[in-house]
Amino acid sequence: MFGLKRKKSTESDKSDQNSPSPRLNDGLKRTRTGIFGGLFSRTKKIKLGEDTLTELEDRLLMADVGMQTTDQVITNLRGTKVDSEANPLDLIKEVLLSTLTPVEQPLSVNTENTPYLILVVGVNGVGKTTTIGKLAKRLQNEGKKVMLAAGDTFRAAAIEQLQVWGERNDIKVVAQSHGADSGAVIFDALASARANNIDVLIADTAGRLHNKDNLMDEMKKIYRIGNKFDENLQREVLLVLDAGTGQNALAQAKQFNDVIGIDGLVLTKLDGTAKGGIIFSLASELNIPVRFIGVGEQIDDLRVFNASDFIDALLENQNE
């Protein structure tokens, strides 16, 4: 048997926010149906003919799983005689797990030299501000004192949007007026956080196109503000990507990583897309830790990324 042992869940997976996982199963429905719908059965033996393999290959590529992982899946299946000993879904899971396990590295907040700064960056509309709201709640539930910085001074109403999340979570939001210098807002917020013994400061930033040089230069400036405040500042640069943008998400991640260096990824809107396979492309091409995934708009819809849970949800109910 291909005894794939389930990876042990981490403590945070066991929290209420992460169990059980009907939200994850629901969230991955479109991607799951797109790749596997009607193709396999756990209960019936199937013959893995070339037709099935070609169909699966097409579907994996359509879901943005990427060449590397797709090739591995198909090769693994083709080389194996499928009988009662080997279920194709187990063979697929083996490959998918080997791709995603290396990027399963949960965010670890260092509270030795506070505040710990989480700088949230990404292109327009990917879900940065919403992710900040959800993340603030999660960190508070872990017992951390959290503050927010309204570093998106560009978009009208961005400050108010963050303030609403501040009220929901009952935490302070440091803000200046619309049009103020984003770096200055974040510097002030760092100072305020230190004075108030805050553990984690989460800074919002304006959405910016990864291929616009002036906007990326501004982001470098914002990044350097942290060093000006404290050269030993502990921080996480968190890039938010919209799973629905498929291959474009990969281009964004490459560009942001080249410009300021990305410590972790959040892949949002997995619930609204059939292109959730992009997580495999991101993992195999960039190898940047995936910290969280977003599977809905509600405050509890941000989940710590767990490779095994993700793949289980992707392969769920294939015998229906």
Ligand X SMILES: Nc1nc2c(ncn2[C@@H]2O[C@H](COP(=O)(O)OP(=O)(O)OP(=O)(O)O)[C@@H](O)[C@H]2O)c(=O)[nH]1
Residues that bind ligand X in the complex, under the rule CB under 6 A: 122, 124-130, 152, 155, 158, 207, 268-269, 271-272, 294-297, 301
Q: Please, what is the minimum distance in Å from the beta carbon of residue 136 to ligand X?
A: 13
Q: In sequence order, which residues have a C-beta less than 8 Å from that of residue 143 and are 6 or more positions away?
A: none
* Residue 138 to residue 122: CA distance in whole angstroms: 21
d(CA 186, CA 16) in angstroms, rounded, equals 32
β-pair partners for 294: 302
Q: Judged by CB, which is closer to Mg ion: 82, or 260?
A: 260
Angstrom distance (rounded) from CA 148 to CA 10: 27
Between 129 and 281, name the residue whose CB sits nearer to Mg ion. Answer: 129
Minimum CB distance to Mg ion smaller for 94 or for 181 = 181
Nearest to 305 by CA among 291, 286, 289: 291
Q: Which does 88 bind (CB under 5 to 8 A by kind): Mg ion, ligand X, none?
A: none
115 interface partner picked from Mg ion, ligand X, none, CB below 5 to 8 A per type: none
Output the smallest distance, CB 110 to ligand X, in A.
25
Interaction partner, residue 65 (Mg ion, ligand X, none; CB < 5-8 Å by kind): none
Least distance to ligand X from the beta carbon of 130, Å?
Answer: 3
Q: Which does 148 bind (CB under 5 to 8 A by kind): Mg ion, ligand X, none?
A: none
Residue nearest to ligand X (CB): 207
Q: Which residues are CB-neighbours of 273 under 8 A, at least 6 positions away?
A: 30, 31, 243, 244, 246
Q: Report whether 109 contacts 116 (CB < 8 A).
A: yes
Please, are residues 48 and 79 in contact by the beta-carbon 8 Å criterion?
A: no
Best CA proximity match to 49, nearest among 39, 63, 59: 39
Q: Crossing angle, helix 29-36 and helix 307-315, to 10 degrees?
A: 60
Q: How far apart are CA 180 and CA 178, in angstroms?
A: 6
* Residue 306 contacts Mg ion per CB under 5 A: no
Q: Is 128 an interacting residue with respect to Mg ion (CB under 5 A)?
A: yes
CB of 305 to ligand X, least distance (A): 13
State in angstroms the smallest separation of the CB of 208 from ligand X. 8
Q: Is 30 in the site for Mg ion (CB under 5 A)?
A: no
Q: Are 243 and 268 in contact, with CB atoms under 8 Å apart?
A: yes
Instruction: Say if residues 293 and 266 touch (Cβ distance below 8 Å).
Output: yes
Residue 272's binding partner among Mg ion, ligand X, none (Cβ under 5 to 8 angstroms by kind) is ligand X
Q: Pick from Mg ion, ligand X, none: which does 106 bind, CB < 5 to 8 A by kind?
A: none
> How many positions of this chain bind Mg ion (CB under 5 A)?
2
Considering CB distances under 5 to 8 angstroms, the limit depending on partner class, which of Mg ion, ligand X, none binds residue 289?
A: none
> What are the residues binding Mg ion (CB under 5 A)?
128-129
